[in-house]
Amino acid sequence: MAAITFDITPMIKQAIDEAVAKQMQHEPDYRCWWTTKDVVERYGVTQPWIKAHITDVPKFQQLLDGFAFNYGGHIGWRFEPSKFSEFMRDHFKDIAKEAGKC
């Protein structure tokens, strides 16, 4: 009987590469500031919703100071990803209450 051998290393490497690529698709990109479009995609809301329930709400405007900036015009809002994510976790309950008032 002849022994059949093969190198499974390339198959393992391919499986790992695919798993890492898939994971990266679902993780937020913290390397650059987020646009409003990035926030819309991440949180599943619309730009008008963000405006009405977060960026135009005075109590949230104060909290966003330092990591969310509105450059106006075609540039619009920019959000520092890790701080904005922390803000959303910490204030989700208040944001939901604000959204429920409409």
Residue 40, classed as helix, strand or coil, is: helix
pLDDT value of residue 75: 87
Instruction: Tell me how far apart the alpha carbons of residues 29 and 22 are, in angstroms, rounded to a whole number.
Output: 14
Please indicate whether residue 45 or residue 12 has the higher confidence score (pLDDT).
45
Quote the percentage of the chain above a pLDDT of 70: 81
pTM of the model: 0.67
**Mean pLDDT score of the chain:** 84
Residues 66-78: what's their mean pLDDT?
A: 90
**pLDDT for residue 101 is more than 70:** no
The H or E element that residue 12 is part of is helix 9-26
Torsion angle defined by CA atoms of residues 17, 22, 26 and 29, in that order, rounded to the nearest 10 degrees: 30
- Which region among 15-29, 43-57, 82-96 has the lowest average model confidence (pLDDT)? 15-29
